[in-house]
Amino acid sequence: MNRPLRSLVLVTAIAASLPVACTAQPPSTPIAPPPAATPAAPLVSGLPDFTNLVQRVGPAVVNIQAEVAPQRNARGAPDDEQIPEIFRRFFGDDMPFPGGPGAPGGPRGPRGGGTSMGSGFVISADGYVMTNHHVVEGADTVKVKLSDRREFTAKVVGSDEQSDVALLKIDAKGLPFLRMANASSTKAGQWVIAIGSPFGLDHSVTAGIVSAVGRSNPYANQRYVPFIQTDVAINQGNSGGPLLNTSGEVVGINSQIFSNSGGYMGVSFAIPIDVAMGAAEQLRATGKVSRGQLGVQVQQITSESAKGLGLPDSSGALIADVLPGSPAEKAGIERGDVIRAVDGRAINESSDLPPIIGSMAPGTRAKVSVYRNGRNVDLTVVVNELDATVAGGSGAPRPAAGDAPAAPSAGNALGLVGQDLSSGERQRLGLRGNEGVMVRNPGDAAAEAGLRPGDVVLSVGRNSVASASALDRELSTVKPGQTVMLLVRRQGGTQFIAVTAEDEAKAG
């Protein structure tokens, strides 16, 4: 990555050192006509020109340098666990970039300390600055450089990993600052502009369009952030910079890219400004961010599971589990319910639910509309505060080595063979004393749907099962071609699996 820049510097140095011929004389007539006194009329019209926008808002965009001191273990070597996320996420151990860790003449890499570079923007005249959490995470010193080249040592007011937002404060007055957009006005297809410091190149401007809003990023552990996806070119160093609309208002904070190479590949993600500002206000007031919690585990609804649930479509969030004592349990939400709306806001996908609930203050009363047994039910939930530490359960017990699977039970249209659980196995799984049947042989239909030996079936539809015989009874009523929902515990998680019994015509 450094070679082209080094070549450029070398060529410049050679060109500067060439002697000038003393006998050179200017030509008697110009080789080309001189530039016109007034600019020519553009030959292409209707294209966006961001010049005025950049001149107006550019001074409020800042460069951020987070300095990390070397951290060493008992052997005197750097401790991997203390390497900041900015390095782990983008650089690895041997990925130098111009002016960054590992570059000639640049700061040392993360294993010996160093400087991570990012972007940010001023949000108030008295010196509050927004950036990403991962830009300043683990930093011993954070420096903010303004567009007029002034530098300040910033105080980290607060930083939130889940939203990837950090709020900084510098000792300055009368600063230019950016205004926030109305988050609901951001739509797919709109022009947006990013200003930041990719690879340390201050105040670089790129533009593109909004590709999607409310996007769940499956590659980031940030389920409370409905990302803005764009095709704006974002690279290392753009993190924390503003994403702007054509009015120069901030619609989001540039945060991540999807890339197989470490560089821009056409997919960028920004944190919506309403989510970011909500986190910033809490960080300024309390130093932390509190989020609402229902206490449920949800999963996406497929066309197959919609058929098994009797839903008219695949919209909503399917409740796979309800935590004991949670707001959801107290409100009467049950496994197998499908949340279709919260306070009148439609839940189209399961990923829509966490950001809506997370944005609520603990103690908020919310109206939750669920689909249950063919009808809509409205419930009132009082959300509590999200517990950041969620204990993971142990994995499902596996069949004993050498055990031969039993023959399929008579009348079981799925051919699924279950095995009773011992009290010790239930205890390891965190199950109640009368809950669950281990799968020894899923049968062809269930195996095709994703069921595995060692999974634990908790219920068939809404009917709980606690023994292999109970499982057989529930499955005995399944008809060929019918889709049934199996609630399954696997590796500490719970999910519904839609299984369609093999059609007799196809089987024959």
The torsion angle over the Cα atoms of residues 400, 404, 406 and 407, rounded to 10 degrees, is 160
- Active-site residue, selected from the candidate residues 160, 164, 202, 352: 164
- Active-site residue, selected from the candidate residues 163, 197, 239, 350: 239
Question: With contact defined as beta carbons under 8 Å apart, do 108 and 91 qualify?
Answer: no
Question: With contact defined as beta carbons under 8 Å apart, do 267 and 211 qualify?
Answer: yes
- Active-site residue, selected from the candidate residues 134, 268, 352, 464: 134
Residues in the chain: 508
Q: List Cα–Cα distances, 413 to 339, 483, 495, in angstroms.
A: 30, 11, 21
The yes-or-no answer on residue 93 being catalytic is no
Q: What distance in Å separates the CA atoms of residue 267 and residue 220, rounded to the nearest whole number?
A: 14
Q: What distance in Å separates the CA atoms of residue 294 and residue 126, rounded to the nearest whole number?
A: 38
The helix (run of H) or strand (run of E) holding residue 382 is strand 375-382
| Cα atoms found within 13 Å of the Cα of residue 453, Cβ hemisphere only | 13
For 113-175, the DSSP string reads BEEEEEEEEE-STT-EEEE-HHHHTT-SEEEEE-TTS-EEEEEEEEEETTTTEEEEE-S-SS-
Closest alpha carbon to 409 in 383, 363, 441:
441
Helix, strand, coil in percent for the chain, rounding step 5 = 20, 30, 50
Phi-psi region of 373 (alpha: psi -120 to 50; beta: other; left: phi over 0): left
CB atoms near residue 36 (< 10 Å):
7
The yes-or-no answer on residue 239 being catalytic is yes
Catalytic residues: 134, 164, 239
